[in-house]
Structure 1
Amino acid sequence: MKTAFGQLSYCSNIHPGEDWKEHFSVLKTSIPEIKAAVSPTEPMGLGLRLANQASIDLSENENFEDFKNWLEANDVYVFTMNGFPYGNFHNVVVKDQVHAPDWTTKDRADYTIRMFELLAKLLPENLDEGGISTSPLSYRFWWNTPESLEKATKAATKNILLVVDALIDIFEKTDKTLHLDIEPEPDGILENSEEFINWYKGYLLPMGVQHLAGKGYSTEEATILIKKHITLCYDVCHFAVGFENPQDVIDKLNNEGLKVGKIQISSAVKVDFSENAEEKLKTIAQYNEPTYLHQVVAQQKDGSFQKFPDLTEAIASFHENISEWRVHFHVPLFLENYGLLGSTQSDIVETIKVHKNKLFTHHLEIETYTWGVLPSEFQAPLNESIIREINWVKGLLNG
């Protein structure tokens, strides 16, 4: 929905459905109820998540026309999409396979370009900008040597430049500015703002300028095009897990002339071990579920940091010198505490404050997808939970 601070949506990756028929069925059941509660008289935005098979299905003309007609009939529109999970995302063990196939493969590029072709046709006439969030190149631990990591980074960048070609072509045909929003995540090849900027300056821009020179673009023209079409997805949960300050991140990006494609409004688990450490360790163990990766960044009493690829390793390695954990577990936005555990809700408040002070994106997307794996005492009917999240964010924006 349109707000004074950008288009606001929630991400449909909370809803199951790896093929289009199943996913559309869930949307038709859920969206009207949600819209009636949060945007009864104005159009409602939707952040559409399509698995690869769903994107193939929706590319069929009959399916696409049915969806577009349904959007119009229900006063709903799509301005952003989630292209991070390519395959199964519900009711299976996802873990590091959320990155597969990664950006070293043409499959990832083909899928993403297909999504952009759909988004260009879905964008309402009164909107000239859309974006798709995606994996931070690959999963870091798949590349065990500096040489293999370097090779993977270059291969991934080459495939991302194929998407740049497609987005330039879409703009020339439609005047729609579409951007690929790279989403740093713990244990991705790009896991924080510094790594994103270093990749952008050290790989994307030099390789991109050379790539576009072969198509007749000058260095200046190529740089402008790359910065226009390749942006950052600011996932608040991910940056909070990395103990990054929102204002510092935005200042660094501004200094480099780099843009934020969208804010994914999300919250992580925070554990303060200054007291009741043993009880809190038992409590956080309830979140050690087998579906998703729950990377942990531990701050030690001397201020240094220790990283763990999942909760299992963090729990097994706990020691008395740890003062705080940040856990990659997308918990509901509207709760500051979960019993003995805390959340990084304050990072959402601070990020929105920075944004309201000086807008740094036009797209805001709520992303909480772990409702089904939360401890039972924090679960509630899904539509009610989504409505509560949207209204909480609207209150934050309007407050």
Structure 2
Amino acid sequence: MNTPHGHLTYCSNIHPGEKWNEHFQELKKNLPYIRKELADGQPFALGLRLANDASLELSDPVRLQEFKDWLAENDLYVFTMNGFPYGGFHNTVVKDQVHAPDWTTTERTEYTKRLFSILAQLLPEGMEGGVSTSPLSYRFWWKDEAATERAFETATHNMVQIVDLLIEIKRETDILMHLDIEPEPDGLLENSVEFVEWYRDYLLPIGTAYLQEKYGFSEVLARAAILEHIQLCFDVCHVAVAYEEPQDVLERLGTLGIKVGKIQISSAVKVDLQQNADEKLETLRSFNEPVYLHQVVARQSEGTLEKYPDLPEALADENAAKADEWRIHFHVPLFINSYGKLDSTQDEIIKTLDIQKENPFTNHLEVETYTWGVLPPEIQKPIGQSIVRELQWVLGKLD
């Protein structure tokens, strides 16, 4: 929906269905109710997530036209897509495979091109569109410095292909779209510092040389094209787990002129271990589920950060309770600030939205709470009601 502070939606990765027909049925089941509760009589936005199989199926012109007709009939529109999870995201163990195939592969590149081709046909006239994506790869897949260097270079060359595609689409249709890279704990790019360094040291040099050779662009024009088409996905949960301040992230991006493609409004689990640490860690065990990665970053009393690739490793560490605080990558509901003895990073969302209200830095806002099905039973509610409550909470903070 269009708010005074940007277009607001939620990500459909909460709905199962890796095949298009399955996912479409879930959208039909849930979206009319959600729209009626939140934007009755007004256009309502959808943040579309398509698995690879669904993207292949929806590329069929007949199926795509059917979807477009359904969107129009229900006063719905799509302005952003989530292209991070390529394959299964429900009823399977996801863990580090959420990064696979990564940006070193042709499969990831072609999948992302396909998403942009679909989005170009779904975007309302005059709107820009974005597709969020993974932070290049998963860092533990690369065993030494030389392998990591090759991964950075290969991934960057593949992303430059996306810049090329988006330049061509804009020339032919006047539609502006951008790839929004989402730093994540243990990604090759896990925070804004690493993102800006990669942008400066890899993307701009490699991309500029490519565009100068292919299009005859000046260095200034090539740089401007890259900045227009490769942006940051500001995932609030990920920023919080990295212990980054939202304003610091924006100022860091500003040193190179990098834009924010969208805010993914999400919340992490926070545990203050300075009191009753053992009780809190015991409570946390109910969140230890086997589907998604739940990276943990522990802040020590002197300010240093200890990182764990997943929650089981953190819980198994005998020294864990000595930290001052844990932050855990677990996209918990936005509207809940406390889970008994545990807290959330809801305050970081409020900080980010306050900045957006004062000095807007993107026009795309997307709620991304996808762990409903693996939360402790007492927190779970029917999915439609849960999404409505999430968006109502955000609207209240934006008001």
TM category, shorter:
over 0.9
C-alpha deviation, 1:64, in angstroms: 0.4
2:116 match = 116
Q: Does 1:46 align with 2:46?
A: yes
- Is 2:138–2:187's contact at 8 Å kept on the other side of the alignment? yes
Deviations 1:191-239 (A, max 9, x none): 0000000000000000001111111111111000000000000000000
Q: Does 1:188 align with 2:205?
A: no
Deviations 1:264-304 (A, max 9, x none): 00000000011111111111111110000000000011211
Once the two structures are superposed, the pairs formed by residues 300-339 of structure 1 within 5 Å of their partners are 300-319=300-319, 320-339=321-340
1:208 match = 207
Once the two structures are superposed, the pairs formed by residues 129-140 of structure 1 within 5 Å of their partners are 129-140=128-139
Distance 1:126 1:256, change over 3 A: closer
C-alpha deviation, 1:11, in angstroms: 0.2
1:36 match = 36
Deviations 1:170-193 (A, max 9, x none): 101111110000000000000000
Q: In structure 2, how many angstroms separate the alpha carbons of the residues matched to 1:196 and 1:134?
A: 13
1:93 match = 93
2:59 match = 59
Q: In structure 1, how many angstroms separate the alpha carbons of the residues matched to 2:386 and 2:349?
A: 18
1:366 match = 367
1:157 match = 156
Counterpart of 1:214 in 2: which secondary structure?
helix
C-alpha deviation, 1:31, in angstroms: 0.2
C-alpha deviation, 1:318, in angstroms: 4.3
2:252 match = 252
Deviations 1:82-123 (A, max 9, x none): 000000000100000000000000110100000000000000
Q: In structure 2, how many angstroms separate the alpha carbons of the residues matched to 1:52 and 1:304?
A: 39
Counterpart of 1:256 in 2: which secondary structure?
coil
Give the structure-2-normalised TM-score.
0.99
Amino acid in the other structure paired with 2:336: L
1:375 match = 376
1:347 match = 348
Q: In structure 2, how many angstroms separate the alpha carbons of the residues matched to 1:286 and 1:2?
A: 38
Q: Does 1:198 align with 2:197?
A: yes
2:174 match = 175
Q: In structure 2, how many angstroms separate the alpha carbons of the residues matched to 1:41 and 1:348?
A: 28
1:395 match = 396
Q: In structure 1, how many angstroms separate the alpha carbons of the residues matched to 2:151 and 2:363?
A: 31
Q: In structure 2, how many angstroms separate the alpha carbons of the residues matched to 1:214 and 1:251?
A: 32
- Is 2:103–2:159's contact at 8 Å kept on the other side of the alignment? yes
Amino acid in the other structure paired with 1:113: K
Once the two structures are superposed, the pairs formed by residues 268-307 of structure 1 within 5 Å of their partners are 268-307=268-307
Q: In structure 2, how many angstroms separate the alpha carbons of the residues matched to 1:136 and 1:211?
A: 21
Q: In structure 2, how many angstroms separate the alpha carbons of the residues matched to 1:151 and 1:255?
A: 26
Deviations 1:362-382 (A, max 9, x none): 100000000000001111111
Amino acid in the other structure paired with 2:81: M
C-alpha deviation, 1:309, in angstroms: 0.1
Q: In structure 1, how many angstroms separate the alpha carbons of the residues matched to 2:126 and 2:69?
A: 17
Q: In structure 1, how many angstroms separate the alpha carbons of the residues matched to 2:337 and 2:143?
A: 38
Amino acid in the other structure paired with 1:357: E
C-alpha deviation, 1:254, in angstroms: 1.4
Amino acid in the other structure paired with 1:217: F
Q: Does 1:220 align with 2:207?
A: no
Question: Which runs of 5 or more residues in structure 2 are unaligned?
Answer: none
Amino acid in the other structure paired with 2:119: L
Q: In structure 2, how many angstroms separate the alpha carbons of the residues matched to 1:257 and 1:163?
A: 19
Q: In structure 2, how many angstroms separate the alpha carbons of the residues matched to 1:370 and 1:154?
A: 33
Q: In structure 1, how many angstroms separate the alpha carbons of the residues matched to 2:168 and 2:208?
A: 17
Amino acid in the other structure paired with 1:388: R
Deviations 1:296-337 (A, max 9, x none): 000011211100000010011142421100000000000000
Question: Which runs of 5 or more residues in structure 1 are unaligned?
Answer: none
2:83 match = 83
2:8 match = 8
Q: In structure 2, how many angstroms separate the alpha carbons of the residues matched to 1:92 and 1:109?
A: 24
Amino acid in the other structure paired with 1:104: T
CA RMSD, Structure 1 to Structure 2 (Å): 0.7
C-alpha deviation, 1:255, in angstroms: 2.2
Amino acid in the other structure paired with 1:121: Q
- Is 2:296–2:327's contact at 8 Å kept on the other side of the alignment? yes
Q: Which runs of 4+ in 1 moved over 3 A?
A: none
Amino acid in the other structure paired with 2:385: E
Q: In structure 1, how many angstroms separate the alpha carbons of the residues matched to 2:343 and 2:221?
A: 47
Deviations 1:34-80 (A, max 9, x none): 00000102100100000000000001011101100000000000000
